[in-house]
Amino acid sequence: MLYCMLGIDAKAAGAAWTVFLVALLVATAYAIRETLAVFIIALLFAYLLIPLVGFVERITPRQFSPRIALAMVYLVLVGAIITLALTLGSRLADEANSLATQLPALLKNLSWMQIVPLPTWIEPARANIIRTIQGELSTSGQEILPYVMSFGGHLVSGAKYALYFILIPILAFFFLKDGATIRDEFVVGLVEKRRRPVVESILEDINLLLGEYIRALVLLSAASFTAHNIFLGFSGAPYAVLLAGVAALGEFIPVVGPAAAGLIVLLVTSLSGYNHVWLYVIFWLLYRLVQDYFLSPYLMSKGVRLNPMLVLFGVLAGDQIAGVLGMFLSVPLLAILRVLFVRLRRARAGHLLTPSAEP
């Protein structure tokens, strides 16, 4: 009645109100994006632990509560974290501090350019190229230095985010303990009965997809760290463990991450007087072939893999929206949208399928 008195169409008013609520929701999510990021990472961390919790539940006697299996997994996890911190963490700290200290001098040392092979037609300009690089490093290199130093500090200490490192496993514990109950209450409380099969199938597909994706990323990261550490260590490269860690972290950023990590390794080793730069380039190319065409397809199903152009768009857009975290979350978000699109299209066509890992 009020809409008629004011001369406003009721449907238009309803649409405007919906748009307002959606905009308000997006603005609120952006305002609390750091908190949301912590919960999202905790959820992904919970997905990582699901197979281990399930395995412990299967081997423990039936009279034991599932929470006991969860507690056992967390005790093992805490022990593994402490062991890594005492062994690998100390070496990472030493190498990061050493690199941060020596980097200003390394930026001025271009002796490696004297031995780098160049095409015959470029060889006469080697001296000019060296001077140009020297000038660029003396100016823009100083801008890179704080990022490298801060990266090393955050990689090793993480003092600023110490609370998050403690909070994430705690939140993951509650996700593992109460996740199924929360999902059932969500479906029953917010979804009409006739639409519940569609929603449940979508949630099951997303559950399988996210679990597979995060576990595949961790395995790919571990493989990259191991391969780089072995190669760099045996070939006598400086900061082998630290650079292997950089390569491992690069696996979490689709498309851009591995390339950026490879460039960082190449830059640091070249400036440090590493004598096998081109050998590392060959190793990196061969490893990417193995990683991208054998390991990654084996670990990730077709439900996770997306068109490379779409992935690149998502990574670049994610970087503009939320930085590194946005780049990391871009692929699972696009994959979830794909699941929603495929499932809703099939449901509309009257072909509701049972949950599967490959929509």
**247 lies in a domain?**
no
| Confidence (pLDDT) at 2 | 45
**173 lies in a domain?**
yes
Task: Give the list of residues 6+ apart from residue 212 with CB closer than 8 angstroms, or none.
Answer: 299, 300, 301, 303, 304, 357
Q: Would the pLDDT of 119 be above 70?
A: no
What value, to the nearest 5°, has the Cα angle with vertex 138 and ends 135 and 143?
Answer: 130
**94 lies in a domain?**
yes
What are the C-alpha distances in Å from 136 to residues 112, 139, 264, 277? 16, 5, 16, 21
The 10s digit of each residue's pLDDT in 149-164 is 444 444 444 445 567 7
The 10s digit of each residue's pLDDT in 164-193 is 777 888 888 888 888 778 887 877 777 777
What total number of domains does the chain contain? 1
Find the domain containing 178 and state its range.
Answer: 32-190
The 10 Å Cβ neighbour count of residue 49 is: 22
Q: Residue 201: is it exposed, middle or buried by C-beta count within 10 angstroms (0-12/13-18/19+)?
A: buried
**316 lies in a domain?**
no
* Cα–Cα distance, 66 to 72 (Å, whole number): 10
How many alpha carbons fall within 13 Å on the CB side of residue 234?
Answer: 8
**278 lies in a domain?**
no
Task: Give the pLDDT band of residue 230 (cuts 50, 70, 90).
Answer: very high
Task: Give the pLDDT band of residue 224 (cuts 50, 70, 90).
Answer: very high
* Cα–Cα distance, 35 to 171 (Å, whole number): 12
Q: Would the pLDDT of 128 be above 80?
A: no
Average the pLDDT over each of 3-17, 47-61, 121-135 and give the range with the smallest value: 3-17
**8 lies in a domain?**
no
Q: Would the pLDDT of 299 be above 70?
A: yes
Radius of gyration of the chain (CA): 25
**130 lies in a domain?**
yes
The 10s digit of each residue's pLDDT in 262-281 is 988 988 888 777 888 889 99
Taking each continuous run of H as one helix and of E as one strand, the counts in the chain are 13, 0
**70 lies in a domain?**
yes
